[in-house]
């Protein structure tokens, strides 16, 4: 099983002899399905060449904070947003000390300060350096700050000493990285997620739909599985692979989606991320509608309302904890708050689809969550995968308090 499938990992390589293990680590991470980008310190380049890690990762290695080409697009900020995990291996005593002090004098340390992704360190140093009180204090301070420490291990070292200080092996680090994504806050819960657009037929050739790609809903399904849930994903027509361990049900129209949702009930948590068509043609032509060449008139379609899937499910006697999405182009929070109340929801997720960087078909998102008391929690723009994990963690906390 590829537990790191589609995870975005920035691998930081510090200046220690254990940097030779970083090459194998890149391979292990990619074997697990991760996409890896490498950032090297000046010291790291003395032990292993950037070309080696470029060949193994499949991407150019990032080296300098003040790279004019990268900084034109704020390269370190882009990497910080891109990452689902920053893993520094090896993490030297010097690098740990600089991170403890919040130093940002190279690309790697600046990236750590700029990211909201989890940061993990694989300490690697002489046994005396590891047990020095200063290093131990730094390790404790970093752990209290929320950074994860993988190791070190005990054993023989390059200098001939034996003791704690060896960097963990590549397969151990890959396993530890995978374990970070396995938060079991939804263990035993059945989560029903809707995703993608619906299509409402006009005739056998044409239909009404919208621009939804389904990427956010699929990312939520993947994140819910990581959180231990049993996930049913009901999706309109999209071109996306099914996340591992997800029960996927494909539908076409809004009425199809409602029927599939009702058949999947009961559930503990409903996340309605689909962009469901509000209207459908009253009459669907049996054959392709032909244009009248003698008439300059347009085509008039009579539309009728589709069933409101979210309101229907949230109004059931056995209603689940219900979370909706409000994709708006104006008055975002006002419209989202109204939808929260009108549909009897526990939470609503508002996102501005007028912004092309976070709208339909984009790879990133930025959201605001509104609860019944109209309290707001905002998540800054980042990848949809990372937003999904943040959102699932937030929802799980509220669900478990309910």
* 367 assigned ligand-binding residue: no
Selected catalytic residue, list 66, 158, 159, 299 = 159
* 21 assigned ligand-binding residue: no
3-state secondary structure the chain: CCCCCCCEEEEEECCCHHHHHHHHHHHHHHHCCCEEEEEECCCHHHCCCHHHHHHHHCCCCECCCCCHHHHCCCHHHHHHHHCCEEEEEEECHHHHHHHHHCCCCCHHHHHHHHCCCCEEEEECCCHHHHHCHHHHHHHHHHHHCCCEECCCEEEECCCCCEEEEECCCHHHHHHHHHHHCCCCCCCCCEEEEEECECCEECCCCCEECCCCCCHHHHHHHHHHHHCCCEEEEEECCCCCCCCCCEEEEECCCHHHHHHHHHHHCCCCEEEECCECCCEEECCCCCCCCCCCCCCCCCCCCCEEECCCHHHHHHCCCCCCEEEEEEEECCCHHHHHHHHHHHCCCCEEEEEECCCCCCCCCCCEEEEEEEECCCCEEEEEEEEHHHHHHHHHHHHHHHHHHC
* 369 assigned ligand-binding residue: no
* 309 assigned ligand-binding residue: yes
* 278 assigned ligand-binding residue: yes
* 310 assigned ligand-binding residue: yes
* 308 assigned ligand-binding residue: yes
Active site residue 261: no
**Residues labelled catalytic:** 159
Binding site, annotated residues: 278, 288, 307-310, 325, 339, 343
Binding site, annotated residues for CTP: 278, 288, 307-310, 325, 339, 343
């Amino acid at each position: 099983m590829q537990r790191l499938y589609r995870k975005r990992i920035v691998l930081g390589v510090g200046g220690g002899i254990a940097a030779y293990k970083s090459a194998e680590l890149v391979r292990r991470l990619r074997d697990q399905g991760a996409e890896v980008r490498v950032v090297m310190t000046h010291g790291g380049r003395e032990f292993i060449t950037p070309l080696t890690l470029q060949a193994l990762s499949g991407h150019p290695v990032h080296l300098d904070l003040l790279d004019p080409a990268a900084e034109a697009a704020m390269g370190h900020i882009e990497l910080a947003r891109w990452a689902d995990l920053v893993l520094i291996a090896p993490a030297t005593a010097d690098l740990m000390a600089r991170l403890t002090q919040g130093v940002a004098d190279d690309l790697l340390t600046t990236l750590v300060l700029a990211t909201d992704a989890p940061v993990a360190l694989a300490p690697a140093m002489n046994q005396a350096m590891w047990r020095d009180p200063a290093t131990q204090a730094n390790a404790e301070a970093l752990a209290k700050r929320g950074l994860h420490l993988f190791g070190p291990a005990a054993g023989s070292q390059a200098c001939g000493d034996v003791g704690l200080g060896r960097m963990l092996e590549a397969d151990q680090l890959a396993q530890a990285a995978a374990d970070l994504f396995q938060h079991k806050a939804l263990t035993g819960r059945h989560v029903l997620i809707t995703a993608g657009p619906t299509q409402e037929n006009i005739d056998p050739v044409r239909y009404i739909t919208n621009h939804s790609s389904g990427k956010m809903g699929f990312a939520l399904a993947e994140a819910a599985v990581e959180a231990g849930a049993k996930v049913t994903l009901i999706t309109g027509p999209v071109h996306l692979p099914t996340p591992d361990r997800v029960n996927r049900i494909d539908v076409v129209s809004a009425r199809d989606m409602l029927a599939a949702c009702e058949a999947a009930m009961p559930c503990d948590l409903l996340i309605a991320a689909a962009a469901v068509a509000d209207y459908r043609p009253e009459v669907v032509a049996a054959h392709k509608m032909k244009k009248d060449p003698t008439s300059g008139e347009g085509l008039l379609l009579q539309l009728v309302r589709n069933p409101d899937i979210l309101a229907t499910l949230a109004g059931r006697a056995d209603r689940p904890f219900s979370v909706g999405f409000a994709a708006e182009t104006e008055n975002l929070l006002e419209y989202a708050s109204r939808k929260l109340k009108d549909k009897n929801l526990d939470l609503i997720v508002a996102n501005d689809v007028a912004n092309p960087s976070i709208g339909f078909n984009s790879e990133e998102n930025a959201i605001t969550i509104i609860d019944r008391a109209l309290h707001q929690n905002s998540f800054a723009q980042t990848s949809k995968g990372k937003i999904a994990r943040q959102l699932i963690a937030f929802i799980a906390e509220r669900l478990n308090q309910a």
